[in-house]
Amino acid sequence: MSTITTNDNIDTVGIIGAGAIGQAFAKQLVNAGIDVILSNSRGPDSLAGVVDALGPRARAGTPWQAAQAGLVFVSVNWSRLEQALAGIDWTDRIVIDANNPVLLPGYRLAELGGRNSSQVFASLVPGARVVKAFNTLLAGVLAGDPRQAGGKRVVFQSGDDREAKAVVGGLIERLGFAGIDLGGLEVGGALQQFPGGVLPAVNLVKLG
C-alpha cells in the first residue's frame, strides 16, 4: 500500500464503483494526466469498453487493487456499499466518499441510525481518512468542463482530517474545479447528503 501527503504526489487514483459518477470522475482525472484504476462488482473484464474509451491512463482492476492507490474514490449503490468495501485494509488511506444513501426504487433515504451517511461510510472504512466530496453534482455536470462562464464549477468537501482535506482540495483545484470546505463530517456531511442535505444538485460557479 502507498500513502500520500501532498497533492503533488497523486499520480494514480483508485475508483470503486464504475457507474455514472465514477466514470465522470475518471474522465476528469485522465484529462488532468492522472492514472486511474477503475473497479466494480462485476470484475475487470466488464470494464473493457469503459477503460478503452478513457484511454491509456485508465485500467480495470478489482476493488482491492483500486484500494492500493494512494487516493481512493468510492461511489457505489448504497445497498451494495458494505460488501464493496469489505476485506480491504483501509488504514491511513485517504478515501473520497462520493456516495448518497439512496434506496431504489423510489429514491428513499436509507436507515442511518441517527448519523449522516458520511459518518456511516467512515465506519465501513476503519482507519481511513475520509473526505466527503464530488457527490452533489449530477454525473453529466461532473463530467463536463469545470471552467464555466469565466469561473470554476464548485465542489464541496468536508472531513475531520485536515491533511486529507488539503490533499483532496489540491486535487479539486488540479482538476479545474473550485473547492469549498464545509468543515467536519458531522456538519458538512449532513449538508452534502442526498437526500436530506441542502447542497445536492446545487451547481455553483466561483468567479475570479
> How do residues 111-168 score in pLDDT, each as one tens digit?
999 999 999 999 999 999 999 999 999 999 999 999 998 999 999 999 999 999 999 9
pLDDT for the residue numbered 206: 97
Strands 108-109 and 151-159: unpaired
Extract the C-alpha cell encoding 183: 468543515
**What's residue 1's pLDDT?**
47
| Helices 117-124 + 185-192 axis angle, to 10 | 120
Residue 28 has pLDDT above 70, yes or no: yes
Name the pLDDT band for 5 (thresholds 50, 70, 90).
low
Classified as helix, coil or strand, 48 is: helix
- pLDDT tier for residue 7 given thresholds of 50, 70 and 90: low
- Cα angle 197, 147, 138 (rounded to 5 degrees) comes to 35
Which residues touch 13 (CB under 8 Å, ≥6 apart)? Answer: 29, 34, 35, 36, 37, 69, 70, 71, 72, 73
Say yes or no to pLDDT of 188 above 80. Answer: yes
In order of their start, the domains of the chain are 7-207 (3.40.50.720)
10 Å CB burial of residue 29 (0-12, 13-18, 19+) is buried
Q: What is the pLDDT of residues 91-112, one digit of tens each?
A: 999 999 999 999 988 889 999 9
Report yes or no on whether pTM surpasses 0.85: yes
C-alpha cell at 175: 482538476
The number of C-alpha atoms within 13 Å of 163 and in the hemisphere containing its C-beta is: 10
